[in-house]
Structure 1
Amino acid sequence: MSHLEKEKQKLVARIRRIRGQVDSVEKSLGSEADCADVLMLLANIRGGINSLMAEVLEDHIRNHMMGPEKSPAPSVELAEDLIDLVRAYLK
């Protein structure tokens, strides 16, 4: 995960926004809101999750796979790790 406190706070803020969106879906379903409105809320949640996932993935690559202790030249192992991450992300 992100090693800077400021970055951690940004990620936590994103999670809280997503949680608020999920709560809105629950309220909408309970009040029998219009299906189009519920679908829009769900699309917003999916976008928020995808954005958060991309940021965490980028953070992982930068800090754990390509950090200063790693060699600058990409390796087959690094490529395989990246492929595995992307595949898991796209499931």
Structure 2
Amino acid sequence: MSHTIADKEKLLVRVRKIKGQLGAIEKALEGEKECFKVLQQISATRGAMNALMNQVIEGHIKEHLGNHVSPAQRDEEIIKLITLLKTYVK
């Protein structure tokens, strides 16, 4: 079973919180809040996205790079993960 399926509820809770944070950013902009408040909301949302990414990456590493994976599969997964991380940290 995929780790995203096993952790589905925890991941969905994180996503719903992020949606709420994005809504708060939208509301702050619509309400013409001061830029510092908007920046705080953006920062909090970014932190939440990073936490979500970290949780999924951790599960991915455990599931796809563990000892139960063949060396060929591991090499393929490593290349895919490196490619993903390069786009993520841009």
TM-score interval, smaller chain? 0.7 to 0.9
Q: Which consecutive residues of structure 2, in runs of 5 or more, have no partner in the other structure?
A: none
Please give the TM-score of this superposition, normalised by the length of structure 2: 0.79
CA pair 67-22 structure 1, distance change in 2 beyond 3 A: farther
Give the superposition deviation at 1:78. 4.8
Please tell me the root mean square deviation across aligned C-alpha atoms, in Å: 2.3
- Quick one: percent identity of the two aligned structures? 38
Distance 1:67 1:13 in 2: 30
Q: Which residue of 2 aligns with 1:26?
A: 26
SS in structure 2 of the partner of residue 2 of structure 1? helix
Q: Which consecutive residues of structure 1, in runs of 5 or more, have no partner in the other structure?
A: none
Distance 1:35 1:60 in 2: 37
Distance 2:78 2:27 in 1: 44
Q: Which residue of 2 aligns with 1:38?
A: 38
Q: Which residue of 2 aligns with 1:85?
A: 84
Distance 2:84 2:17 in 1: 25
Number of equivalent positions? 87
1:84 partner letter:
T
Give the superposition deviation at 1:3. 3.5
Answer whether contact 2:11 2:52 (CA < 8 A) is retained: yes
Higher helix share: 2
